[in-house]
Chains A and B, each alone.
Chain A
Amino acid sequence: MSRDLASVPAGAGPTGPSAVALTPARIIAIAIAGLALVCVPYLLPNYYVSIATQVLIFAVLAMSIDILAGYTGRTPLGHGAIFGTATYVTIYWSTTLGGSPWTGMLIGVAAATTVAAIFALLAIRTSGVYFLLLTLALGMIVWGVCLRWTSVTGGENGIRGSVRPMFIATHSAFYYLVLAAVAAITFVMWRFVNSPFGLTLRGIKDSESRMRSLGYNVPLHLFIAFTVSGFFAGIAGAIYAMFNSFVSPSTVALTQSVAGLLMAITGGIGTLFGSFVGAAAIISLENFVSSYTERWLSILGLMFVLIMVFAPEGIVGRIRMILARSKG
């Protein structure tokens, strides 16, 4: 079986992504995870709180990618550009134009959603490796614009400026705001993938021809899914503007798209919540291992190879498989 990025395996084991009911065991697990996250600023120094904040933001980016890769079977490589568009617009509005950061975030998310809609119009009629390459190319165009439109974007120098209001200036205050926002966003995304519309996406992933014969306008559904996915990537990008207070072409570069996709795959494509595990694994490696060795990228690559070989359904996908087997 070929395992290229255009056909990443469904993470929820052999059954693929499926509607997840909130059983008492799951509610308890979510409550424990939530409590642990709430305790982070009390237990860890600011450096780690900052890393945890970064994990939360990138988990949203990875989940937005998972909506497409895990639920429609189309793997995008342009979400870094959508994410970065929101970051650029938020920082430009707040620093260069001197506007309110909250308005900047709203405009940033709107801009990212618009970019996603344009990407969607061009990409939804393709699938597999063609979809992957087309979204990659569209992302590269955004990167090129950010690099060359120096009068607005600052070119290679980017734009620097603090976007964060005073009341969330501290690491812990900002962390709690991000945690609350990400919890709300995650709930909305969970409802989305388990909605009637989410089921149509899983149907499209299984058999587009059958969906058409049942009366579904498949391109329209994919357009909506891509745009919604871009909306969530935009929210992550706007929050990142507050987190990083700096944006440059590297924020919209291909590496950003690849990082988001790797997080989704590592956690488990089609699991949604796996994105948190994937983001934590990759950002931890990036921050901790890089302090010990310059070859951390090689270690990241090795980890990814091991996951693809031994747990192609991702960490959460593999855990779900093991739990399913132990039950049945």
Chain B
Amino acid sequence: MMHLTPSDIQAIWLTIKLAGVVTLILLLIGTPIAWWLARTKVWWKRPIGAVIALPLVLPPSVLGFYLLLAMGPNGPVGQFTQALGIGHLPFTFWGLVIASIFYSLPFMVQPLQNAFEAIGERPLEVAATLRASPLDAFFTVAVPLALPGFITASILTFAHTVGEFGVVLMIGGNIPGETRVASVQIYDHVEALEYMQAHSLSAVMLIFSFAVLLCVYTWRPSVKRVG
């Protein structure tokens, strides 16, 4: 049953590349956002938090539609990329990366925010009394204590990006090796009535998803607290 065509393999490889790149970028973007949300006391952290959570409830096609407009030739992002000489982002790999960053942002930010909140103020105060600057304390105390949160957030972000479909169709279309990820490839197989191939690829995705969730539940034990 497990018979994957070269184009299937290409789609899987592209999917992994997309999810990997998005997870790495989101680790860099999501960590400071989560840190800020966990520690600030300003009232407008709530609307910001709600905006970040939007992709959880918004139909992916809606998100994809707005991103398409923004990145298109008449959109602000599109005009900016044109001015930079990059051209247009829709229907490119990097267009997909940007769309996926928005789409998967809550899956990175929320577990990290929870982990940072669980650590609380105290370990950082302790670090300050032991002469660690705030940045020093962040890397030597907050990050190690929030490590389970980082692992959960990365796995969820990776998996969620792998499972993307609606946004990909809106932004990426269906270009082999560029934007045709596994979920789109399955759709194509079904459209073409290639049920055997759809089966194989779907099975791969099913096993992958199960493995991911198993990892998350195994790693979840708890965020460590100071004793």
Q: Answer yes or no: do A and B interact.
A: no
